[in-house]
């Protein structure tokens, strides 16, 4: 799929450096607040969550959820559906949603609304990437790795038609490739 290394947008070393910074910030912010529930959004966040969770210095547990967007033709309608819920209750817990990328914001907005109805002590958002100028709904990302331009990216958990998720870095692809 994506062959040329010249398409690398964010190098592996740069990702790892930034993940370390985010982990330090999150560890400082939640220190002394009890166990943090990290909620990874499948599939795209699985590598980011693996790296981030291992670098935290606070008590934490890992949960996963999966969502899907209703598509109308090629454009997303903005409606999001929960296709897999987490196993444990988050009542009274501090929760951090961990996403790969925020584009229109619909997915993160839906998740924050849904989790906020479940009696958590707090719900915050962490995303590795956010596409600039793409927001259709306003959603605050408490911990953000990088802003990127409006291009399709793959690697480090992100895919194009299920390809290229396991690349160690983040690359831009042209869908016609
Ligand atoms: P949103 O609901 O429009 O913010 O879209 C967020 C979701 O779309 C992410 O969780 C990804 O699954 C997917 N997505 C958006 N842009 C990209 C991309 O450039 N590469 C891979 N997945 C993407
Ligand atoms: Mg995703």
Q: Give me 15's structure tokens.
A: 């990702």
First to last CA, the chain: 7
What are the strands of the beta sheet with 122-131, ordered from one edge?
Answer: 75-84, 60-72, 36-42, 94-102, 122-131, 143-148
Query: For a substitution probing ligand 1, which of 45, 80, 103, 113 has the most ligand atoms within 8 Å of its CB?
Result: 103
pLDDT in tens, 2-18: 455 679 999 999 999 99
Does residue 164 line the site of ligand 1, with CB under 6 A? no
Question: Which protein residue's CA is at the shortest distance from atom 5 of ligand 1?
Answer: 103
Phi, psi dihedrals of residue 90, rounded to the nearest 5°: -105, 10
Q: How far is CA 166 from CA 17, 45, 100, 134, 154, in A?
A: 18, 12, 13, 25, 9
Q: How far apart are CA 121 and CA 140, in angstroms?
A: 18
Q: Give me 171's structure tokens.
A: 């690359």
CA of residue 41 to ligand 2 center, whole Å: 6
Residue 103 annotated in active site: yes
Q: Give me 150's structure tokens.
A: 């409006």
pLDDT in tens, 91-132: 999 999 999 999 999 999 999 999 999 999 999 999 999 999
Which run of H or E residues covers position 91?
A: none
Stated pTM of the model: 0.93
pLDDT in tens, 48-57: 999 999 999 9
Question: Which protein residue's CA is at the shortest distance from atom 17 of ligand 1?
Answer: 152
pLDDT of 1 strictly over 80 = no
Sort 69 into a burial class: Cβ within 10 Å, 0-12 / 13-18 / 19+: middle
Does residue 146 line the site of ligand 1, with CB under 6 A? no
Q: How far apart are CA 90 and CA 148, in angstroms?
A: 32
Report the atom number in ligand 1 closest to the C-alpha of 43. 12
pLDDT in the model for residue 76: 62
One of 29, 51, 103, 142 is an active-site residue; which one?
103
Phi, psi dihedrals of residue 139, rounded to the nearest 5°: -140, 130
Report the atom number in ligand 1 closest to the C-alpha of 153. 19
């Amino acid at each position: 799929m994506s062959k040329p290394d010249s398409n690398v947008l964010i190098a592996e070393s740069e990702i790892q450096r930034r993940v370390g910074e985010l982990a330090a910030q999150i560890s400082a912010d939640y220190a002394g607040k009890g166990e943090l529930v990290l909620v990874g959004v499948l599939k795209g966040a699985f590598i980011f969550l693996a790296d981030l969770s291992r670098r935290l210095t606070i008590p934490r547990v890992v949960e996963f959820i999966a969502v899907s967007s209703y598509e109308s033709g090629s454009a997303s309608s903005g409606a999001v559906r929960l296709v897999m819920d987490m196993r444990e209750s988050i009542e009274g817990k501090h929760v951090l949603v961990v996403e790969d990328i925020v584009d229109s914001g619909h997915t993160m907005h839906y998740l924050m609304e849904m989790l906020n109805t479940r009696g958590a002590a707090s719900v915050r958002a962490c995303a590795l990437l956010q596409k600039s100028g793409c927001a259709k709904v306003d959603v605050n990302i408490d911990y953000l790795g990088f802003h990127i331009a409006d291009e399709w990216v793959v690697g480090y958990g992100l895919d194009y038609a299920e390809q290229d998720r396991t690349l160690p870095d983040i690359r831009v692809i042209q869908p016609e490739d």
